[in-house]
Amino acid sequence: MTVRTRAAVGGFVALAAVAGLGVYLGRTDFGIDIPLPRPARSCTVAAPADQLPAGAATDLTLNPEQMANAATISAVGVTMGMSEEAVVVALATAFQESKLENLAGGDRDSIGLFQQRPSQGWGTPEQIRDPRYAATKFYAGLKKVRGWEEMRVTEAAQAVQRSAFPELYEQWKDESQLLASALVGNTVGAVACSVAREPVVRGNAAAAGLVNGLVLDWGEVQTASPAELLGLTVSAADSRVGWRYAHWLVSHAGDHGVKRVRFGDREWTANEGEWSRIDGTTGAGEVVAEVFGDS
């Protein structure tokens, strides 16, 4: 688990620093040719405090699976007409139940991102393992909770989940606020992922998979295939919608072979793994995604 606020991370970082210093000294002082370890693939979410709800975390690190699942949870909430606060509750619940990983099992017959149980009427095991289905069921349950908007995050989550440990959802509120703000499009260039240089999916298959993923998560989206690059463009009604799509595309870059994402005057590339400013801008109301070619 790579979330910034957990105590175990501090010990790991300290040990990693000591190990890294040892590798450095071995290479520089003794001429030993020890290959430096390549950093693990990861995604970061970061935004200035003045762009976030009071008390929200300002930075967060997730692995690619966690990031992709978070992006899907957010997209499902938005398409269902749920508020940003509902997305916060859903993300905090998934953080606590599965650490945002689509688990094959859990306590008794619990399954998936929200550890929903077939025996309790949440659906079949196959359905619950589908992140979109699981998120939809969670939001549907939240909608039925009268007055959830005035509840603390942990109370709203517990009203849906009925956990034996009802207070534990609250510990993920700060991270979930940061993540939700980025994924609903309130912050600019907030999601950045490092991805493999040799993606498994490339070319036309990658482009087709990207379109399919967008439709599954967002429903009806207007996409086009530009003649000048291998990939797609996504129409966005305004900047907020554009950043929703841009952050979603980067969040799913690892499993869809995304090489480059551009929106406005910003560009993310797989090579750099971060957003940078570019000269000029993309077409008005248009997010551009390029995928790796076949060769």
> What are the pLDDT digits (tens) for 201-240?
999 999 999 999 999 999 989 999 998 899 999 999 999 9
Burial of 212: CB neighbours in 10 Å, binned 0-12, 13-18, 19+:
exposed
Q: For residues 25-43, give the mean pLDDT.
A: 48
The rounded mean pLDDT for the chain is 87
Interval 161-210: pLDDT, tens? 998 888 999 999 999 999 999 999 999 999 999 987 778 899 999 999 99
Are 106 and 212 in contact, with CB atoms under 8 Å apart?
Answer: no
pTM of the model: 0.85
Interval 57-102: pLDDT, tens? 999 999 999 999 999 999 999 999 999 999 999 999 999 999 999 9
Name which residue leads in pLDDT, 194 or 10.
194
pLDDT over threshold 70, residue 10: no
CA distance 283 to 137: 37
SS3 117: coil
